[in-house]
Amino acid sequence: MDIRHLNYFVEVARHKSFTKAAQSLHITQPTISKMVKNIEEELGVTLFERTAKQVELTDAGQIIFNQAQQIVKSFENLSAELTDIMHIKKGKIRMGLPPMIGAHFFPKVLGQFHAQYPQIAMELIEDGAKKVEQAVENGSLDIGVVVLPLKESVFHSFTFVREHLMLLVHPTHPFAVKSAVRLAELEKERFIFFREDFALHDRILEECIRAGFHPRVMYRSSQWDFISEMVAANLGIALLPQTICRDLDAARITVIPLIQPAIPWHLAMVWRKDKYLSFAAREWLRFTQSLLQQGMNRL
């Protein structure tokens, strides 16, 4: 017995007629009669008492009819839910965003996505890029935004930002009058760093060591705005992405290009290669890739 057999049985019981049920289902009467007979043989009971004018449910038929209505209705609801998901009308996406990245790139994108798909719920988890990458890898997040490079054997990705880090100093700092600063010149400076669970922590540390010195880190924070405020208070220097620097107060903080080497800051949206992605998640990727990469091409 399958759901189709139950549906045929329910229609006969509702119409009290094999003929009317067949017409309602757009099938032949012999077909529906055969289906009902199959159910009776499978269950070992008689479902209908047949009279000259109509059919009536037996006691056994009434019990099965009561249950079958619920089963058929549940299946219809299930089919409707799946149809909504397949047509991207509803769903849920768990996405990881580093705080610095989310605030600058995603409010408008999220607003446009929500306007088009109001029944798709987006759960945003804010954490450092390293932790976001780990969470996508272990499956606790569907999608994440990370700082490149990443494990290409594990993730699919698309890049939507290609920038460099800039040097932030107090306006009274000797470097404030320079047009560019070499990384090696920062050897004796007091650094304000991101925390260890942020990708920029490792990236800056590695580049400093490659330049021949170990940075003197005085403070660590998870918030770019707090870091910039500490520079404005003349507590040290910092390295932040170009996007962040565009919003800083030039009267309080001087932003200078960093050279030899310039430290890249490339952002990508990632998802596991071997993990199933829902219809909603796939539509989010399609939607954001189009919008974000259009923005990158305009830079």
Tell me: the pLDDT tens digits for 139-180? 889 999 999 999 999 999 999 999 999 999 999 999 999 999
- CATH architecture under which domain 3-86 falls: Orthogonal Bundle (1.10)
pLDDT of residue 5: 84
Average pLDDT for residues 84-108, to the nearest whole number?
Answer: 81
- The secondary structure element, H or E, covering residue 261 is none
CATH number for the domain running over 163-264? 3.40.190.10
**91-160+266-298 and 163-264 share one CATH topology?**
yes
Give the lowest-confidence range in 23-32, 72-81, 220-229, 266-275. Answer: 72-81
CATH number for the domain running over 91-160+266-298? 3.40.190.10
**Cα–Cα distance between 240 and 173 in angstroms, integer?**
17
**Average of per-residue pLDDT values in the chain:** 90
| End-to-end Cα separation, the chain, in angstroms | 62
Domain ranges, ordered by start, for the chain: 3-86, 91-160+266-298, 163-264
Q: Which one-letter DSSP state was computed for residue 237? A: B
Please choose, from the candidates 212, 208, 211, the residue with its C-alpha nearest in 3D space to the C-alpha of residue 190. 208
Q: Which one-letter DSSP state was computed for residue 51? A: -
Please choose, from the candidates 25, 90, 24, 15, the residue with its C-alpha nearest in 3D space to the C-alpha of residue 53. 15
Average pLDDT for residues 111-135, to the nearest whole number?
Answer: 92
Higher pLDDT, 88 or 168: 168
- Contact (Cβ atoms closer than 8 angstroms) between residue 165 and residue 189: no
- Contact (Cβ atoms closer than 8 angstroms) between residue 231 and residue 175: no
pLDDT of residue 3: 84
Nearest-5° Cα angle at 240, 234 to 242: 125
Given pLDDT bands bounded at 50, 70 and 90, which one contains residue 299?
very low
Handedness of CA 115, 116, 119, 121 (dihedral sign): negative
Q: Which one of 16-30, 65-79, 142-156 scores highest in mean pLDDT?
A: 142-156
pLDDT of residue 201: 94
Q: Which positions ≥6 away from 200 have C-beta within 8 Å?
A: 129, 147, 165, 194, 239, 265
Average pLDDT for residues 225-242, to the nearest whole number?
Answer: 96
Residue 79 has pLDDT above 80, yes or no: no
pLDDT of residue 89: 78
Which tokens is 101 given?
């990245």
Residue 298 has pLDDT above 50, yes or no: no
Residue 80 has pLDDT above 90, yes or no: no
Distances (CA, A) of 251 to 179, 228, 248, 255: 17, 13, 9, 10
Higher pLDDT, 78 or 166: 166
Residue 297 has pLDDT above 60, yes or no: no
**Cα–Cα distance between 282 and 276 in angstroms, integer?**
10
The 3-state DSSP class for residue 50 equals: strand
Q: Which positions ≥6 away from 140 have C-beta within 8 Å?
A: 94
Given pLDDT bands bounded at 50, 70 and 90, which one contains residue 45?
very high
